[in-house]
Amino acid sequence: MVSGLVPVPPLSARVIDQTGTLPADRVAALEQKLATFEAEAGPQIVVLMVASTAPEDIADYVQRLGDAWKIGRRDVGDGVLLVVAKDDRRVRIAPAKALEGAIPDLAARQIIDRAIAPAFRAGDYAGGLDAAVDQLIARIRGEDLPAPAKKAVGDTGWQVEELLMFFFIVVPVIGTVMTGVFGRKLGTLATSAFSGGIAWMVTASVLLAAGAVLASVVLVGLFGIGSAARNITRTGRRRGGPPIIFGPGGDHGGWGGGWSGSGGGFGGGGGFSSGGGGDFGGGGASGDW
């Protein structure tokens, strides 16, 4: 990067406000809207608010952003950037090449002039961005784009390895705590409720939530894994040694390296990430308010 230019921020979400302008609830609502659209249709839209792009023009900054982030599906290249430089009073909409037909330069300029600029002049930044996103989504839906690929396990975003770790590592750990507090019978019920609740909140899948409940009943209630692990731990302490817990990945002394999951934790890789395919060729439009 040339010295003095505004750095490209990490791609951490679909809505990134570095200025602190947008209310948290509006950020969450817009993030959810974009996530739902991506899940249903495939394209990725990312909204970024920065204070300024100076000394660089916003078009050049957005080009660097597109080259670095590469949003859009790898095999389609269907990404859109909506970038606001608040202190410069400048905004740019930049579609990747695959979406330049759906969002030609004139259409991008009209969205800025008719949806964004009036709202921004009134101080309603969240409203302007929301209206612009609605128009972008409407235009993209008119394109004949490939349907998004199905996810690995029941459209939950969880990989097989993560599911196995949840059922055979996390559930027994929860069982150890719950049976220690409530005893085996009530501990089994508490583990089932807690594990099922976690699975439901993370995946929104009734099937996986039921699987977590069943795993709790079998592992903790029938096999008594939580109670056994607690007894082994107590035995190790009475003998003056460190606590010992059996688990997958090793004979004694832990869980064989932890359970961070593939790519940074449960839930399919630690959050939103680029599809790796957007090729931004300079299309789009800039405007001010």
How large is the average pLDDT for residues 175-182?
80
| Residue 75 included in any domain | yes
Overall domain count for the chain: 2
User: Do residues 91 and 169 share a domain?
Assistant: no
Q: Do 53 and 61 contact (CB within 8 A), yes or no?
A: yes
Q: For residues 62 and 189, which has the higher predicted lDDT (pLDDT)? A: 62
Residues 214 and 167 in one domain: yes
From CA 226, how far away is CA 233, in angstroms rounded? 11
Instruction: Answer yes or no: do 132 and 34 share one domain.
Output: yes
pLDDT, mean of residues 105-122: 98
Report the alpha-carbon distance of residue 166 to residue 154 in Å, rounded.
Answer: 16
pLDDT at position 184 is 77
Taking a C-beta distance cutoff of 8 angstroms, is the pair 80, 254 a contact? no
- The answer to whether residue 193 is domain-embedded is yes
In terms of domains, do 116 and 207 share one? no
The answer on 69 and 120 residing in a single domain is yes
Q: 97 and 33 in one domain?
A: yes
What's the order of all strands across the beta sheet hosting 15-17? 15-17, 44-50, 79-85, 90-95, 285-288
Q: What's the pLDDT at 242?
A: 46
- Measured CA to CA in angstroms, residue 50 lies from 20, 178, 216 at distances of 9, 47, 47
What is the per-residue pLDDT for 11?
A: 93
d(CA 103, CA 110): 10
Mean pLDDT in residue range 84-112 = 96
Q: Is residue 289 part of a domain?
A: no
Residue 50 pLDDT > 60, yes or no? Answer: yes
Task: Answer yes or no: do 28 and 126 share one domain.
Answer: yes
Same domain, 178 and 100: no
Q: Write the CATH number for 88.
A: 3.10.310.50
Q: Is 129 found in the same domain as 23?
A: yes
In angstroms, rounded to a whole number, what is the distance separating the alpha carbons of residues 106 and 78?
Answer: 19
| Same domain for 141 and 164 | no
Give the per-residue pLDDT at 202. Answer: 66
28 and 141 in a single domain? The answer is yes
For 191-238, the pLDDT digits (tens) are: 888 877 877 776 666 777 787 788 778 877 666 665 544 454 444 444
Tell me if 167 is assigned to some domain. Answer: yes
Q: How confident is the model at residue 243 (pLDDT cuts 50, 70, 90)?
A: very low
Report the distance separating Cα 128 and Cα 147, nearest Å: 29
Cα–Cα distance list, 244 to 156, 173, 253, 259 (Å): 34, 13, 5, 17
Task: Tell me the pLDDT band of 263, cut-offs 50, 70 and 90.
Answer: very low
Instruction: Give the pTM.
Output: 0.61
Read off the pLDDT of residues 142-158 as tens digits, 9 standing for 90 and up: 887 888 876 544 445 55
pLDDT bucket at 271, cuts 50 / 70 / 90:
low
Domain of 66 in residue numbering reads as 15-146
Instruction: Identify whether 275 is part of a domain.
Output: no
Residue 261 has pLDDT above 50, yes or no: no
The answer to whether residue 273 sits within a structural domain is no
- Asked if 252 and 50 count as a contact pair (C-beta separation under 8 A), the reply is no
Cis preceding-peptide flag for 148 (omega within 30 of 0):
no
Indicate the residue among 207, 229, 251 that finishes a domain.
229
